[in-house]
Amino acid sequence: MFINTIKTGFLMFGLVFLFVAIGGALGNQQGALIGLIIAGAMSFYSYWFSDKMVIKSYNGQEVNSQNNPRLYHLIQRLSKNADLPMPKVYIIPERQPNAFATGRNPQNAAVACTAGLLELMDDNELAGVMAHELGHIKHRDILISTIAATFAGAIANIARFLPYASGGNNRNGEKRRNNVAAAMLVSLLAPIAASIIQMSISRKREYMADRAGAEFSGNPLYLRNALQKLENYSHSIPMNREDPATAHMFIINPFSSLGSLKNLFSTHPSTDDRIKELEKMAREENLL
């Protein structure tokens, strides 16, 4: 887990560096500063209101001990295992089996699962999935992924203006054309680089949440079995509400992959690789 944390730090630095470079190219130091202020404001808003925005967008229905004792008491037990405050619990009215966590910190967090997940999973598998989501809360992944997504989006938006800002009143026509061509190339490549970094961060955090989920639920095979089911069912049952911007939040990407480029642009590691890591943990604990 420590190695993945270090890698995440380097990737986050890469996003910030790329953002400052694009801001500087657009308006020198002033452009970079303005860009950082805009990104900071966007990050703060997303960080503070992410739980309410996402739950509302998916029509989440809050769960308590009376209307769904199975799910509520399961989260209570897992939260105690994880040494976390009890989060708010929601059910999303979707047939696709899936789950996510959101919220700005462990004291203001929420976990949600779809109605399809509750129908498909037995109690052990459900524990594995929801423990994974509590792992995201424990590691404050909601904050990290929100900031990464904000910077990547800001880079993409700012890069669009580079071709118009290049050259200025330069009287040398050839030099001006070269500047514009270079700016157009950067405006195309910078958002791609930012997206690759953002997705790499997301994949590292998924591995960490898988390990935490195995520990909090008490058995790596619970989540292993759940992931096998999710891989079989999630991609064949579409989500009614499609918002690719939220794909990184779910335990399995609920939207279609990108073919041969899926490894670079995927928000999640391959399910096979995640299962291998969980089975490795199980063997270390003499459970396989």
Let me know: does 277 contact 210? Beta carbons within 8 Å: yes
pLDDT of amino acid 57:
86
Residue pLDDT, tens place only, 19-47: 666 666 655 556 556 666 766 676 677 66
Asked if residue 150 is part of any domain, the answer here is yes
Residues in the chain predicted with pLDDT less than 50, given as ranges, are 4, 169-170, 258-260
Asked if residue 11 is part of any domain, the answer here is no
- The answer on whether 206 is annotated among ligand-binding residues is yes
Check which CATH number belongs to the domain holding 234 and give it: 3.30.2010.10
Asked if residue 92 is part of any domain, the answer here is yes
Work out how many domains the chain is built from and give that number: 1
- The answer on whether 94 is annotated among ligand-binding residues is no
Q: How far apart are CA 118 and CA 96, in angstroms?
A: 10
Asked if residue 214 is part of any domain, the answer here is yes
- Tell me whether strands 88-92 and 109-114 are parallel, antiparallel or unpaired: parallel
- The answer on whether 248 is annotated among ligand-binding residues is no
Residue (of 87, 120, 129) closest to 214 by Cα position = 129
CB atoms within 10 A of CB 6: 11
Q: How far apart are CA 218 and CA 58, in angstroms?
A: 30
Domain containing residue 150: 50-157+189-284
Asked if residue 168 is part of any domain, the answer here is no
**Catalytic residue numbers?**
133
Asked if residue 1 is part of any domain, the answer here is no
Phi-psi region of 141 (alpha: psi -120 to 50; beta: other; left: phi over 0): alpha
Measured at the CA of 26, the angle between CA 20 and CA 31, to 5 degrees, comes to: 60
Let me know: does 106 contact 88? Beta carbons within 8 Å: no
Q: How far apart are CA 141 and CA 202, in angstroms?
A: 9
pLDDT of amino acid 103:
85
Residue pLDDT, tens place only, 129-159: 999 999 999 998 877 776 676 666 667 666 6
Asked if residue 250 is part of any domain, the answer here is yes
Q: What is the DSSP string of 207-224?
A: HHHHHHHHHHHT-HHHHH
pTM greater than the 0.85 cutoff: no
Asked if residue 166 is part of any domain, the answer here is no
